[in-house]
């Protein structure tokens, strides 16, 4: 009987636990002066957002989960 009570209490506490939210995909803060906001739509429909300087290209390689800023000279290598 004690095991059943512990199991029910454990299940209730897990059901009431809040789920983590990914707020980065729901809104993007405006870029600071001298920066631009880069966005890439992933294959699952979510939008990845990051910031680069205005003179740098936005580089993304979804297959490697790689999102970064390129260089002025080499671009996105």
In whole angstroms, give the CA distance from residue 48 to residue 74. Answer: 23
The string of pLDDT tens digits covering residues 9-38 is 545 544 444 433 344 444 556 778 899 999
Whether 60 is in a domain gets the answer: yes
pTM score over 0.85: no
Whether 22 is in a domain gets the answer: no
Whether 47 is in a domain gets the answer: yes
Whether 24 is in a domain gets the answer: no
Contact 57, 74 (CB under 8 A): no
Which domain range does residue 43 map to?
36-71
Whether 3 is in a domain gets the answer: no
Whether 43 is in a domain gets the answer: yes
Q: Is the pLDDT of residue 62 over 60?
A: yes
The string of pLDDT tens digits covering residues 33-45 is 899 999 999 999 9
Whether 63 is in a domain gets the answer: yes
Number of domains in the chain: 1
Whether 61 is in a domain gets the answer: yes
């Amino acid at each position: 009987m004690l095991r059943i009570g512990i199991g029910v209490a454990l299940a209730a506490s897990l059901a009431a636990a809040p789920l983590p939210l990914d707020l980065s995909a729901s809104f993007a803060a405006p870029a600071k002066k001298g920066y631009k906001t880069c966005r890439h739509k992933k294959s699952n429909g979510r939008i990845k957002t990051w910031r680069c300087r205005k003179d740098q290209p936005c580089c993304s390689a979804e297959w490697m989960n790689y999102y970064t800023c390129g260089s002025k000279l080499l671009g996105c290598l």
